[in-house]
Structure 1
Amino acid sequence: MVRKMKVLTSSAIAATLLATVLAACGGKEEAPKTADPTPGNTAEAPKDVPYPKSLTYWVSLNPNVAATMKNYGEIAAYKELEKKTGTKVEFQHPPVGQEKDQFNLMLASGKLPDVIEYGWNAAPKGADSLIKEKRIIRLNELIEKHAPNLTKVLKDNPQFKKLITTDEGNIYAMPFLLGDEMLAVVNGPVLRKDWLDKLNLKVPTTIAEWETVLTAFRDKDPNGNGKKDEIPYFFSIADLDYNHLFVGAWGITSDFYNEGGKIKYGPIEPQFKEFLATMAKWYKDGLIDKDYATTDAKLKDAKVTNSQLGSLSTYPGSGISRYSLLVQPTLPSFSLVGAPYPGLKAGDKPLGQYTMPFTGIGAAISATAQNPEQIVKWLDYKYGQEGHLLFNFGIEGESYKMENGYPKYTDMIMKNPDKLPITQAMAKYFIASWSGPIVQDKRYIEQYFTMPEQREAAQTWAKAEHGKQMPPITLTAEESSKTASIMNDVKTYRDEMINKFIMGAEPIENFDKFVQTIKSMGIDEAIKARQAALDRFNNRK
């Protein structure tokens, strides 16, 4: 995650989000297996401060909301929140695809809404700088006085407080927090299980076993159409950066990582050459989709649904479940299985995808807001028991019902009468399926994973190593200004060369030249800046 005067930086979550957390920093500072962050009884709210009568709220429009609604004000949870608090909210949504540009323009203009919900890791300047420039405000004291529910969550989970506090001691947003490690691992390698079964192959666990499986997918006609049209594996640089598949077998990532408190940049490490050489061999041998670099999401979907693709990186929901629902009506034997992140040899514990409990996503209050204490109180409602249930499960009796203390989604969500996909049905009622200023509840994911294959995949992927994950470190404005252009150039060059090495346009013997070029671009300065930021992070209290 990136920042300027405290630019949040994390190599693994350049995306998203999303969602989706508790990794080691420094040596192995793991968050507890979770001191239950699910709110209990709602803390006593301050009586002297009322909820605001109205406020303006800037936030990106989630695609699942956009599919059936025009703005967040139509979500049942927000309608109910208005009834509970009397606060009328005017939601402002930037055009889809223009969120970053609109955010930057908004900050530059100084014409700010009361609340800005954003992935602050993508902000051009970090929170400390934005606080000094009077764009957003420090929330520490306001939270202590007017947010008893969030205060309790932070007291019960001190690792959360460390993550949401900047190096200068500022809390800048009411955070989106992952409430359980189950929510941290949401992506990994998936193979056609029916193909494995047909060819009498086991799920691979090492790089060598993967090569054996992919070769069999190429040669033995597992789709049974008599043509040699199978694509064993779909590679993508985005997947590589997100989940470290295959490169993690060498104990490195394709970006910055944290090895025992020391920052390293994976692409200049000797192991990256071995990874590239393996991928180049696989590509030459026809084990990797020859068109991977020009294949978009729609075409990738077609390769799966046309029974051509044997393996890929994907999610339990938008991958395993969605593909199964799309393909099984015409090919009942179609099935997918989540595979372990492979090591170089049996028993290795390679790196895998992992999301920190806090990734910079949260609701900040602008410096121009007239009633920040009232807004903090309003936002804090979501962290209490009622608000927690409301924004993770929706309306009791409609979208969920309590069964022995467990909020169970109704058929309105799981078997929507309007035939809406589960994520769109959820979006009509609550925000747990993406993000927002809440603690995400693991009971959401337990039910969202309707297929045993989904749950088993997540459990399998979670066994990978996460200790080298970058925590949400923050760069100073000076560090960021010095290294932002460096990393833009490095990433552009890195991506270009990864494709050239894999596709054979650049001989692997030129790897040392590749490393020297990256060093000449200033990667050592970028590493130094992140090392300083990691040291500051480790010293946070």
Structure 2
Amino acid sequence: MSLTLATVGVLAGCTPSDKGASDKTNAGKSPASDKPITVRFLVQNDPGAPMKNDMPWVKEFTKHTGVQFDWIAGPENADQYKEKFNLTIASGDIPDLMEGPGDMLIKGGDAGTFLAIDKYLDKMPNLKKLLDENPAYARALKTDNGRIYFLPHFLAVKTNNAFLVRQDWLDKLGLKQPQTPDEMYNVLKAFKEKDPNGNGKADEVPFTTRNKKVGLGGFVEPFGVSLEEDFIVENGKVGFTYTNAKMKDALAYLNKLFKEKLIDGEYATNDQKIWDQRLATEVAGMTWDVFARQDYFNKSIQQANKNANISMMNPLKGADGKQYTKSQQLPVGATGIAISAKSKNIEQLIQWADWFYSPEGQLAFNFGIEGDTYTLVNSQPQYTDKIVKDPKLAPGSVIKALGRLHFVSKLDIRYENASQSPEVVKKRDEVAKFVTDRFPKEYLSYTPEEREVINSKYTEISTFKDEMFDKFVYGAESLDKFDEFAAKINKMGLADVVKVQQAAYDRYMKR
């Protein structure tokens, strides 16, 4: 789930009758005909919601917009999907709509593959209004030359990943939620040695993750660096996170945890199934993941153990006593949807997209079908029991299964609140106070020459730093070689890459 920002763009109780809502009899339909159009749409497959036109919300949106879909399901795996995306571009047979990472959509736009949507803003009053009223949206979405090449997802909360801990294990062992790296070490050690799951076996994996090295982010941030950003800005100057001296201290801490088997020895290879199993079977006591997983795991674990209680934690404090996290949901999502510049349905798709940004479209996207998935109580939408009382799934998972995935959108804070328990909403907002802006790589634009530098030099650097990060954590390489590691990265052309990132960052700051 988007999951998915400082409550930017909160809706003020919009309903379908609000002034400014799009005319649902015309939005998305051909001016010459009331017959729906069918367009091809490349999307990343989700096993929990393989897209079909008979899914409830897909049918609802088609009813409002007149647009039906010929779905092209790309691979679930992100890297494989990017490969599919690039092969589709290379084939020249471009679907009407393509979902993908913003930087890839911008690259395609610069090459003329995708439509420059900014040229159509006068025909998109709802999107234009959102951009005019929210400078952060416009700054993030536009390229340095003012182009907009994809339809965005606007998010509604800041908090993303946080430590999720078995509070009942802490209570059983007489421990408090850790606030510093040292306290975290003591808690994980107790989880390993004092049988908190009570099965009489030394089988506990104190901490696990499904997100490879990024899943270790909460352990790194108190040292002053973040795994959420490859580049770090200090006093306006761009530097490289992985050769920063603070990273050496963070790696030393992680190596200590790994060596004593306090973090999952298979963190670098775990998939979602293994991660889920570790937590659901009460082997693992902590993870670093999307805040919404608190409700998800409480529901699943409590089916077997009614006393289980997973709670969200604040970020750990650094040596200076400060707390922060750069794991955040962004004002504009990192992925979007582009329209083919050669589509025969451009006018209809412009209308289709703008409907989603209307008050009516926002209500439908966030809450679904009135009388089925939500009702209006004092003009405010509330989910029905169909959504909030599923015995096995958290509301977000139910919503996904209805087909509300691959559309442009503006998330509503009321959706975020309604889909989580009051406890999670309260803690989410508390953690949000610690969220700090990260390097805006998702929003930077590059010239063809700059892209060439990144492709020719940074790809190799990135692969090498990922490899060495794990080796330092495992202890396969001694941290005594950290300076050699940094020197090798410098020889691989880091200075040229940083120069490109600095230039792109400076342009971004001037938008």
Please give the TM-score of this superposition, normalised by the length of structure 2: 0.89
For the 8 Å contact 1:37–1:157, the answer to whether it is kept is no
Moved more, 84-93 or 485-494: 84-93
Cα distance change on mapping 1:291 and 1:93 into 2, 3 Å: closer
List structure 1 segments (4+ residues) > 6 angstroms apart after TM superposition: 44-50
- Which of 420, 431, 449 lines up with 1:478 in the alignment? 449
- Which of 464, 485, 503 lines up with 2:434 in the alignment? 464
Residues in 2 aligned to 1:157 and 1:457: alpha-carbon distance in whole angstroms: 26
Moved more, 509-518 or 82-91: 82-91
Tell me whether 1:142 sits opposite 2:112 in the alignment: no
Residues in 2 aligned to 1:162 and 1:389: alpha-carbon distance in whole angstroms: 25
- Which of 221, 240, 260 lines up with 2:195 in the alignment? 221
SS of the equivalent of 2:415 reads helix
Moved more, 359-368 or 287-296: 287-296
**In structure 1, what is the equivalent of residue 146 of structure 2?**
169
For the 8 Å contact 2:38–2:69, the answer to whether it is kept is yes
User: 1:169 Cα deviation (Å)?
Assistant: 0.9
Moved more, 268-277 or 86-95: 86-95
Please give the TM-score of this superposition, normalised by the length of structure 1: 0.84
Alignment deviations for residues 428-479 of structure 1 (CA, whole Å, 9 cap, x no partner): 5452xx5631101111111211362x33442343232413442511222221
User: 1:506 Cα deviation (Å)?
Assistant: 1.3
Q: RMSD value over aligned CA atoms?
A: 2.8
Cα distance change on mapping 1:292 and 1:438 into 2, 3 Å: closer
Alignment deviations for residues 79-127 of structure 1 (CA, whole Å, 9 cap, x no partner): 2333334344433333444432222122112222222232233x2xx52
**In structure 2, what is the equivalent of residue 158 of structure 1?**
135
Tell me whether 1:112 sits opposite 2:89 in the alignment: no
For the 8 Å contact 1:188–1:341, the answer to whether it is kept is yes
SS of the equivalent of 2:43 reads coil
**In structure 1, what is the equivalent of residue 399 of structure 2?**
426
Residues in 2 aligned to 1:435 and 1:48: alpha-carbon distance in whole angstroms: 22
SS of the equivalent of 2:164 reads strand
Moved more, 468-477 or 185-194: 468-477
Moved more, 104-113 or 79-88: 79-88
For the 8 Å contact 1:383–1:439, the answer to whether it is kept is yes
Cα distance change on mapping 1:18 and 1:422 into 2, 3 Å: closer
User: 1:242 Cα deviation (Å)?
Assistant: 6.5
Cα distance change on mapping 1:324 and 1:341 into 2, 3 Å: same
Task: Map residues 300-379 of structure 1 onto 2, 5 A cutoff.
Answer: 300-317=275-292, 319-345=293-319, 347-379=321-353
Residues in 1 aligned to 2:456 and 2:193: alpha-carbon distance in whole angstroms: 45
Letter aligned with residue 131 of structure 1 = G
- Which of 475, 479, 486 lines up with 1:515 in the alignment? 486
Residues in 1 aligned to 2:99 and 2:58: alpha-carbon distance in whole angstroms: 15
**In structure 2, what is the equivalent of residue 11 of structure 1?**
none
User: 1:244 Cα deviation (Å)?
Assistant: 3.0
Identical amino acids, percent of aligned pairs: 31
- Which of 55, 59, 64 lines up with 1:75 in the alignment? 55
Tell me whether 1:296 sits opposite 2:278 in the alignment: no
**In structure 2, what is the equivalent of residue 276 of structure 1?**
251
User: 1:64 Cα deviation (Å)?
Assistant: 5.8
Moved more, 514-523 or 56-65: 56-65
Residues in 2 aligned to 1:198 and 1:103: alpha-carbon distance in whole angstroms: 50
Cα distance change on mapping 1:435 and 1:49 into 2, 3 Å: closer
Task: Map residues 219-258 of structure 1 onto 2, 5 A cutoff.
Answer: 219-234=193-208, 238=211, 240-241=213-214, 244-254=217-227, 255-258=230-233
Cα distance change on mapping 1:405 and 1:430 into 2, 3 Å: farther
Cα distance change on mapping 1:82 and 1:330 into 2, 3 Å: closer
Cα distance change on mapping 1:501 and 1:533 into 2, 3 Å: same
Residues in 2 aligned to 1:47 and 1:402: alpha-carbon distance in whole angstroms: 22
Letter aligned with residue 143 of structure 1 = L
Residues in 2 aligned to 1:415 and 1:531: alpha-carbon distance in whole angstroms: 49
Cα distance change on mapping 1:99 and 1:517 into 2, 3 Å: same
**In structure 1, what is the equivalent of residue 5 of structure 2?**
21
Tell me whether 1:93 sits opposite 2:64 in the alignment: no
Letter aligned with residue 470 of structure 1 = P
User: 1:514 Cα deviation (Å)?
Assistant: 1.1
User: 1:499 Cα deviation (Å)?
Assistant: 1.9
Letter aligned with residue 317 of structure 2 = G
Tell me whether 1:63 sits opposite 2:46 in the alignment: yes
Alignment deviations for residues 389-428 of structure 1 (CA, whole Å, 9 cap, x no partner): 11111110111000112211112222359x7663453135
Residues in 1 aligned to 2:27 and 2:57: alpha-carbon distance in whole angstroms: 23
Cα distance change on mapping 1:86 and 1:491 into 2, 3 Å: closer
Alignment deviations for residues 34-78 of structure 1 (CA, whole Å, 9 cap, x no partner): 354566532566999972341413231552653xxx534223333
Q: Greater relative contact order (Cα 8 A, min sep 6): structure 1 or 2?
A: 1
Cα distance change on mapping 1:50 and 1:340 into 2, 3 Å: closer
Cα distance change on mapping 1:233 and 1:451 into 2, 3 Å: same
User: 1:356 Cα deviation (Å)?
Assistant: 1.3
Residues in 2 aligned to 1:346 and 1:45: alpha-carbon distance in whole angstroms: 56
Residues in 1 aligned to 2:428 and 2:3: alpha-carbon distance in whole angstroms: 14
User: 1:272 Cα deviation (Å)?
Assistant: 0.7
Residues in 2 aligned to 1:44 and 1:330: alpha-carbon distance in whole angstroms: 48
Task: Map residues 431-510 of structure 1 onto 2, 5 A cutoff.
Answer: 431=404, 434=405, 436-450=407-421, 452=423, 454-470=424-440, 472-510=443-481
Cα distance change on mapping 1:357 and 1:333 into 2, 3 Å: same
SS of the equivalent of 1:246 reads helix
Residues in 2 aligned to 1:360 and 1:329: alpha-carbon distance in whole angstroms: 35
Unaligned runs of 5+ in 1: 1-16, 23-32
For the 8 Å contact 2:22–2:355, the answer to whether it is kept is no
Count of matched residue pairs: 497
SS of the equivalent of 1:60 reads strand
Cα distance change on mapping 1:235 and 1:486 into 2, 3 Å: farther
Cα distance change on mapping 1:151 and 1:392 into 2, 3 Å: same
User: 1:348 Cα deviation (Å)?
Assistant: 1.0
